Structure 1
Amino acid sequence: MLRSWRAQAPLIVLALAFAVLANLAAAVQPDEMLADPAQEARAREISKGLRCLVCQNENIDDSNASLARDLRILVRERITAGDSDEEVVDYLVDRYGEFVLLKPTSGGWNWLLWAAGPILFVLALILAGGYLRGRATAAPATEAGLSPEEQTRLKQILDEQG
């Protein structure tokens, strides 16, 4: 058993290497790439921060969706037209909305979304503390005994039965 494992080890390493390389290949097709390596590097860097609108949690370089391909081409067209990185991103945000960004900005009304979690957590802690403090200081519940009329009535019922 051990000998067969040692014989298969190089094949397993080779398969893992191919799997890693296939993952690194990404979805960018050769016909999309720019001839200038500096511009292509800029396009790749910009694409890392742009969300595929179909896959939603992948950047456009990793997605095989046709819309992601269109976005990759659009990024490269804007770069070739001479736009700066910020202008390319602003163009896409103007066209598709802030949803196209993998990391939305924290300005404008987005601050409310960023702050909602911590604010609600602090509010929950305050409410839980108030509740626990109220329980600790509350008077213990006492059993209400029977009134004298109820005791008399109970005694009559018990005497009738037995």
Structure 2
Amino acid sequence: MKQLIRSLCVAAALLGTPAMAVNPDEVLDDPALETRARDISAQLRCVVCRGENIDESNAAIARDLRLLVRERLQEGDSNTQVVDFVVERYGEYVLMKPNTSGANLVLWAAGPALFLAALVAGGLYLRRRSNAKDGAGALNADEEARLQELLKD
């Protein structure tokens, strides 16, 4: 009975983990290099799947990127050199967490800046509305008479 419970717990744990798309033929023999490859792959976005890193994606381009990362590691590149090579080749979009420098700083700051601008504009609108004269929309005597005449018809 205990063996059955353990088996069910192991099966539940395996089913609850995200599926990795790394094929057995891609895995490096050196465990240290494979660990480094997995760390780098977690930082790189699949250009087809967008929301998945290259280890989670089954797309052909993700496989090519996984093989490229492992190839560069076997050639002796550092993690930074591998990431820089991939970014140079595919652009900064391939990073799961883009840099917050240069032109990207504008993109990072645009959201909060627009939110603050909307808050200020909304506050100014509400302030003007509350300061408006109460009778600004009232009808004069001629308009009131014309309205009553139209409503009688």
What TM-score do the two structures reach when normalised by structure 1?
Answer: 0.78
Q: Does 1:107 align with 2:107?
A: no
Q: In structure 2, the residue corresponding to 1:116 is in which secondary structure? A: helix
Q: Deviations over 1:20-56 (max 9, x none)?
A: 36x35x1111211111111111100000010111111
- Does 2:58 match 1:64? yes
Counterpart position of 2:36: 42
The residue type paired with residue 124 of structure 2 is: G
For residues 42 and 14 of structure 1, do their structure 2 counterparts lie closer, same or farther at Cα, with a shift above 3 Å needed? Answer: closer
Q: Following the alignment from structure 1 to structure 2, what is the Cα–Cα distance between the partners of residues 74 and 16?
A: 33
Unpaired runs of 5+ residues, structure 1, are 1-8, 158-162
Shift in alpha-carbon separation, 1:16–1:73, aligned structure 2, 3 A: same
- In terms of Rg, which structure is larger? 1
**Given residue 118 of structure 1, which amino acid in structure 2 is its aligned partner?**
P
TM-score by structure 2 length? 0.82
Instruction: State the identity as a percent.
Output: 52
Q: Distance in 2 between matches of 1:73 and 1:14?
A: 30
Other-structure match for 2:124: 130
Is 1:118–2:75 an aligned residue pair?
no
CA deviations on 1:130-161 (whole Å, 9 max, x unpaired) are 111111111112523225xx97x9xxx9xxxx
Instruction: Give the total of aligned pairs.
Output: 142
Q: 1:79 aligns with which of 43, 65, 73?
A: 73
Cα displacement (A) at 1:16: 2.3
Structure 1's consecutive aligned runs of 4 or more residues displaced over 4 angstroms after TM superposition are 9-15
Partner residue in 1 for 2:133: 139
